[in-house]
Chain A
Amino acid sequence: MTETLSVNVNQAGNGLAPSELPGLPPGAEAVIALRGVAKWYGDVVAVSDLTFGIGTGVTALLGPNGAGKSTILNLVSGLIRPSSGTIQVLDRAVPGDTRVYRDLGLAGEQEQLYGSLTGREFVRLNAILQKTANPDAAVERTIDLVDMSDAADRHLGGYSKGMRQRIKVAAALVHDPRVLLLDEPLNGTDPVQRASLIALIRRLGEEGKTVVVSSHVLSEVERFARNVLVIVNGKLAAAGDFRTIRERMDERDHIVRIRCDNPRRLAAALVVEPVTTSIKVEDSRLIAETSDVRQFGRLVPELARQEGIRLFEMQPVDESLASVFSYLVGS
């Protein structure tokens, strides 16, 4: 199992065998491979040092807004050119030959669609441009798959956000691509639509397709993806099976800062606990190192209550892990 938590990608250069790419279990083929990819706009760096692979099944691109998830999807789609590095999809260079698009579909984040077309016409247009063998059948099948059969004859201009999301997914699926890229597909959908989209995504993954879904909400991603790529500030912060990542995060010692009204008493109570590896008291603050943050987090309020100590604040201090932490554990 690939065991990178924070990937130092200077090690990952060219000439890596596919299974050595971060994000892939050993032995797995990379359907999508990025090597040393960076994209900058003048002085602004959108993403940098990206080296990872994505295999079949569902992979989630996790990260806060502005982290670079959409940029990555646009790079993989060939809509933007990397400032450095290479991108390969199904062993073809991207951007490159347009034939790769037979096997690639993107449901992007842009809001606007062709307002004067109906949903059906829109999906059909995509099918025809994809040179699908039997466009009408494919169109009906996909529209049905996203539960848009009733609304397919209405004009796109009048669609609600959830309807737009679904018809975009239909358009991306109509040619039965091997690789499907979805940029925040659950945005704006109501719970029923969300459940059905999630079921669809899971099914596609089980059928052996490569589905990449970007999101900033872990709780929804948990339901269809085990593999995650965590992107923070344009860099890859973690890759692999997310439960493993979570355990690995827990395995590291964490530094926690506690403010309370009687730090010495609390320190005395904590120091005897095995989960605490070190303790330091500074003025009204306690700096503790712990090997198991979650257990520690349960322990401290309990001890405080027993000792009659009032807690004001408890915060992990390790910055680079904190952001990853908050995404993986959920708040």
Chain B
Amino acid sequence: MFEVFRFEINYHRRQYLFYVLSGVFFLLAFLATTTPNVQMVGGVDNVNINSPYTVLLTLTSLSTICVFGAIAFCASGVIRDYDMNVAELFLSSPVTKSDYLYGRFLGSLVFAFGLFLAGSLGVFLGELMPWLDSERIGPIPFGAYWYSIWAIGLPNMFACACIFFCVATVTRSMMATYVGMIVLLMLTFLLGTFTEKETVELTSILDPFGGTALGEVTRYWTVFEKNSMVPALEGALLANRVLWIVIGLGFLALAYPLFRFNVDSGKKPKKQEVQEQRVSVETTLLAVTVHQDFSGRAQWMQYLSQTRIEVLNIVKSVPFVILLIVGLVSVTANAAANLGNIFGTAVYPTTAIMVNIINGAFSLSLVAVLIYYSGELMVRERNVRVSEILDAMPHPNWVMMAAKVTGLVVVIVSMLLAAMVAGIGVQLYKGYYDINVGQYLVGLLFFFQFPLYLMIVVSVFFYILTRNKYAAMALMVLYFIYSLAAPQMGLEHYLYRFRQLFPPYSDFTGYAHNLVPYLWQTVYWGFFGCLLLVVIHLMWPRGTEDDWGNRLKVMRQRMTQPVVISIWAFSTLFVLSGGYIFYNTTILNEYTTRNERESLQAEYEKNYKQYENLPQPEPADIYAEVDIFPNKREAVLKATMVYRNLHDVPLEVVHFSVSPRVDVERLEVEGATLETYDEDYAYRIYRFDEPLAPGAEMVVDAEIAWRTPGFANNGHTVKLTPNGTFFNTQDMFPLHGYQNDQELQDNNIRRKYGLPDLERMAKIDDEEQWMTSGFNMKRRVNFETIVSTSADQIAIAPGYLQEEWTEGDRRYFHYKMDAPIWPFLSFVSADYEVKKDTWRDQVAIEVYYIHDYNVDTMVRATKDSLEYFTENFSPYQYRQFRIMEFPRYQGTFAQSFPNTIPFSEAIGFVADLRDPEEIDYVYYVTAHELAHQWWAHQVMGANVQGQTMIVESLAQYSALMVMEKEYGRDYMKRFLEFELDRYLQGRGGELIDEMPLYLVENQPYIHYRKGSVVLYAIKDYIGEENMNRALADFIEAYGMKGPPFPTTKHLIAHIRDHTPDEYEDMITDMLEKIVLYDLRVADSSVTETDDGRYEVTIDVIAHKFEADGSGAETEVPIATYLDIGVLGEEQGDAKVPEIIYLEKHEIKRNEQTIKVVVDKKPVSVGIDPLNKMIDRDPSDNVSNVAAG
């Protein structure tokens, strides 16, 4: 065995392949570590560049990538012997079968390990490089390297090596081995798409590379943990490692009995030579007269005949069938499991969504087929040695070339058609019958396909250039890397970078206006492809000679007039269409790269941050005429606004900026002249002729146009569309003062521009800031507007409709507010259906929609919410409530403007709520947005830390209460599980510091997710009535008032007013600290008492931790009240256990025994059984009770 092993080692040592591949992996790993342009893992921007977590993830994905290299060593050994006919030598020498087999295997394993270690070395050295951001370099994590190598990397390489070796040994086919690899990778990819907690437990054990298990273990890791540790090798991770090592060993063992230790080449085992009967038939040769035809029609037939052969050759081959099946399975699995769900609730499988799923899940199969077969097709004639016959046949060169390209196209198209059928199957299975075949065809065969068509041509070209299918594949890989990395290197223009064609689609517009730039891009790159085809034609190999000298000679011969003409024609068309694109993207519009935009933002901050706290006048009355031109995708604003000096000092200047996308036609400030105009940032400073006295007013007249000439490189705004316009104040109105939301948000980028770390929000005690609300304004304003749109659309803005009229092809709507509102204004226009209803004859409810699935739910949620909020908080301040659907590509959110709620097509209107067990998030979102009419529009927090708690957390709480009333407590548990999970995950993605809830700095995972969990828990402790009374008091104190505006300290004071003394600490823990619990039932028993009752003894373990902003935890003594529960049999459809006993007990020690007596026979017991506390492992809170 050692002999064979040594032979294998020596063989590879002498081959350049190992050195080349190790070099490639080393370099790749090094670049991934040292430059942001190459990325191997995502989502680690907030932790140290060399944190143990980053090292672990990087080496894990490295081991996945190394598989591509390892396969060459694992598979080639045995196959090589047969290819080179040295098998006979080996097999006749005195080596036993197992020596031969396992010596070979060990030899290749050494090289597979070597590749991975070379990559690991690249990461290690990369992290030592001096140019890395020193702020993000921690101590060298030797332990993490060691762990990642022996626990993750080497087992991965081992398992893969075993599998590949077995497949190669048994089949003796390189292709079969490649297919094995692709199946393995697709399995990994497929398992990776299941992210929900329920399925992830299983998938983390099954995932071949352990990535899912690692992700699961580190799911709730904070920055601190990611920077300081690696996961323990236990539980699912250990099971996963062991499983795959065992699977590996299994394959290895299997190789032995299945391996035929003989020289029968094995490739054609069943082939029997045809025996002919000797019949002699005398005929005169060529008795048949035939006619030859070499016209265009004949060439066309030649082309068809050759194409037919190409297609049959692919579709009849086993790898193709396997790749197709794997692709279809992954499409179906994705569609079935992952249909764009929110809170686990699926959306209707609309064709647009199915097309997206197919594009996502199928691309790996398609690209694998494309790259493999493009190489294969190009060498097939030579491999089967029919090329000399074919090349001497009288067909023009283009026939062969076109047949190859067409063959590939036909294969890819038919794969997509199969996927389409699978997609339709899913739709029908889900009971969705509105199937749009046209959209499938366009979405799949055109948009998705076009890049593949081009890729086919490019990969054929690479083959023609290199005449080597491996070199061509390598060039294809470079091509992929270029198309991914170019934008990161500042090469963003689509003139030299071909983009994936995914024009945004919405049921509002179809592809509509988004189509134009894509079509031009298609045309441009299409001509490029044609040009490449001509070059390919010139260089197409024909005959037996293939050196460059000969190629040039042949090219000259082939430069016939039609060829020259087509080169000129295609070049001209390519240049012309490129010119047109250039004209649109770079002359009509401004072309900027991300780097340029970043540096512009940085400059803006450097130049104007000094004015951040400069007193500015604020609007008091806004009158706006807004003309929306849907088809032209334009909007024009004419605003007359009264500004008032709300400060107690006279103001000398007023600063205005506007969104960079609009043109200011006119901006006149009464009594002031333009002093400075900075064109780069559209920043204007006006100086008053006479300083504006405190309380004095002046009029600002503005005319602002938002145009979308031609098309832009990165696309024009998605907010202006032919159907479904939606924009807000920030987009079109002049904004006074410095706009700090334009600042760069990522501290890593800020450091690059020499900016200090971002201060996300003013400190809570900065009383000066209490004078400004979260809307960045001091006072509400009077608002009146006339919005016009095209005659077929309805335009909506905040306010009550005063009048509506049509003039020519324009339709006008006059809206007016009868009381001041925050100037947070939305303008919406689309061709809507309208559903009208009223609540208690006081509030008009209107839903403007194009999808009617869930409109009734929205109306119901509105009524229920109005009921609850008016009863418990305060009256509703408006007489109407409107919801407007907007196109999905404008965002996946709903937003609450005064009595007006734009609501995305993607988050509620297409949710599939037919299954009553699914979480009704349409109901929840509606309630949440309606709650903002209280929490934002009635009470707005001061513009300091904690402001979003007042707005978002309270809206979450309000919505939860409405939901609880409608759906019951059990339902809430499921919802809150999601919220807890998202909160705990969100902590790991924190970029700066996790804040306690009351100091939240606009951190969604805190103000939404943690907000839900802890406010619901507080309600549970202090009681719903107390909680609502506290909130009502809070509104009473601050509603519709200000400045000054309240902070969370004021809010908490109101809550404490209604909190029983024993729970004061609970309020502190939940709102003012970051506290986590680890609660478990250690043991329990039950004994029946003499009077037929049950005495239950529960041993609980309870730990309490306080975390700092980075997530570092310190255990603190526990002294708190927690639920102790005794649960009975599961009941009802929801299978929720009956609650026999649920009371709060004071827990003072880490281990405590609690005895309760209940009437019914208990099944399980628990501490915090309903998971109200923040506990990273909520599942061990309950355990079955042992009969005593």
Q: Do the two chains belong together in a single complex?
A: no
Contact residues of A with B, CB < 8 Å?
A: none
Contact residues of B with A, CB < 8 Å?
A: none
